[in-house]
Amino acid sequence: MSPKDTIDDSSRTKPVDKILLGPGPTNIDERVKMALSREPMSHLDPDFFIILDNISELLRKIFQTENSTTFAISGTGSSGMEMSMANILEENDRILVLKNGVFGERMSDVASRYGADIIEMNVDWGKSFNQEDVIKKIKSISNLKAVSIVHAETSTGILQDLNYIGEYLKNTDIIFIVDTVTSLSGVEIQTDDWGIDVCYSGTQKCLSVPPGLSPITFSDKALKKIKRRNTKIPSWYLDLNMLMNYWGSERIYHHTAPVNMLFALHEGLKICHEEGLQNRFTRHKENGDYFDLKLQEMGIMPFVDKTKYGSLPMLKSIFIPQGIDDSSFRKNLLSKHNIEIGGGLGHTKGKIWRIGIMGYNSRKELIDNLFNVLGPYIV
């Protein structure tokens, strides 16, 4: 059989490396590449169990939690969202979903598939929730099982404060589910202190590991809720109890762990800790501020009003400068300058760009380079 007649084989030659300034994936460190290309080992090899334990321990430090149930799901960040809902919710369970962008909307879609009774709270895209308003709303709802919110809305660039909501929920029976896909290791996340019960993330944002895994952590309060379920967890692949029989001390085979991706995550987490978590936050903050300054100098409007709302340092949403055609411009940027930036989602499509300066790519020279390329096109 010769596939040569039908298969475009152009990718055989090494393609040009792109500078990834979209909403993820990012470029990755050489050490992560080395880890990815290691010889595989068995998912039941005692040497591999050491790596699993290290990953859990390093993730606990980044999530700032003591939760023993801290690991990485064998799926992308969205599988973390699905896992949270699948394990916490049973049919007709009431959940408050806070929606101010695509990922809040996705939470609602996912929860609906598990038969949840969904109550939504909305603010406009580009705005964050006032925590007092959220607490008032929570107080007004009877029999509430869970509240879910996005910490870093990748569709808008909004950073949502959570601490008061979590503090209030700590003294209730309600489970607090938080999406930190874009924020983890780029800004402060205090899982335990903020009262977060289920916190999930992705690998391809500030951790700068390729996409494919979802770090997640569950509080004891969440575990108790899951133990008291009346029905089986509806997803076999994302069944927390079975997964913890593997990630925990029993090491019972569930599915074949994606060993090479886990090598890569391990390396990415070590790099993160060698830099130091606070230093990493500072770097993201400084480069985010630097980006905003360049934006201002160039007269480009940010989508998020920083004077009123939290703005993500690692994901900048900006209005497309006047006179620029979104689609053709981004295509040219990618094909001629090898720079990727992201377009808007939903009703912001054609109106905003989303620019990621995350993890390995949170660097001044990449920001300078981008604005140097943009410069001539800005009127």
CA 158 to CA 272: how far, in whole Å?
Answer: 23
The footprint of a second copy on residues 249-268 (CB under 8 A) is 253-261, 264, 266
**Range 244-248, long-range pairs (CB < 8 A, 24+ positions):** 244/69, 244/71, 247/52, 247/56, 247/71, 248/68
What are φ and ψ of residue 71, in 5° steps?
A: -160, -165
From the list 71-79, 134-142, 164-172, 306-314, the region that binds a second copy by CB under 8 A is 71-79
Closer residue to a second copy, CB minimum distance, 26 or 287: 26
* Nearest residue to 191 via CA among 146, 221, 226: 221
As given in the structure block, the two tokens for residue 297 are 């100098």
From the list 51-59, 137-145, 283-291, 369-377, the region that binds a second copy by CB under 8 A is 51-59
Shortest Cβ 306–a second copy spacing (Å): 27
Which positions from 297 to 336 touch a second copy by CB under 8 A, shown as an x/- string?
A: ----------------------------------x--x--
As given in the structure block, the two tokens for residue 130 are 């006032």
Which of 163, 190, 235, 245 is in the footprint of a second copy by CB under 8 A?
235
* Nearest residue to 88 via CA among 190, 195, 212, 231: 231
DSSP 3-state assignment of 183?
Answer: coil
- Please provide the size of the chain in residues: 379
Closer residue to a second copy, CB minimum distance, 123 or 269: 269
Shortest Cβ 42–a second copy spacing (Å): 5
Whole-Å CA distances, 91 to 14, 41, 111, 312: 49, 40, 10, 35
The footprint of a second copy on residues 131-170 (CB under 8 A) is none
CA neighbours within 13 Å on the CB side: how many for 103?
Answer: 29
The footprint of a second copy on residues 270-289 (CB under 8 A) is 270, 273, 276-278
The footprint of a second copy on residues 9-38 (CB under 8 A) is 9-12, 14-15, 17-18, 20, 22, 24-28, 33-34, 36-38
Closer residue to a second copy, CB minimum distance, 116 or 175: 116
**In the chain, alpha helices (H):** 30-36, 46-63, 77-88, 102-113, 131-139, 163-170, 220-227, 240-247, 259-275, 277-298, 326-337, 364-374
Which of 68, 76, 332, 369 is in the footprint of a second copy by CB under 8 A?
76
Shortest Cβ 319–a second copy spacing (Å): 21
From the list 129-137, 144-152, 206-214, 293-301, the region that binds a second copy by CB under 8 A is 206-214
204 touches a second copy by CB under 8 A? yes
Shortest Cβ 293–a second copy spacing (Å): 26
The footprint of a second copy on residues 77-106 (CB under 8 A) is 77-79, 81-82, 106
Is the CB of residue 156 less than 8 Å from the CB of residue 348? yes
Shortest Cβ 35–a second copy spacing (Å): 9
From the list 122-130, 133-141, 227-235, 308-316, the region that binds a second copy by CB under 8 A is 227-235
* Nearest residue to 269 via CA among 35, 19, 75: 35
Closer residue to a second copy, CB minimum distance, 143 or 279: 279
CA 56 to CA 367: how far, in whole Å?
Answer: 33
Is the CB of residue 98 less than 8 Å from the CB of residue 150? yes
As given in the structure block, the two tokens for residue 91 are 């049919």
Which of 68, 211, 326, 369 is in the footprint of a second copy by CB under 8 A?
211
Shortest Cβ 195–a second copy spacing (Å): 22
Closer residue to a second copy, CB minimum distance, 128 or 183: 183
C-alpha 81, offset from chain centre: 10
Shortest Cβ 89–a second copy spacing (Å): 12
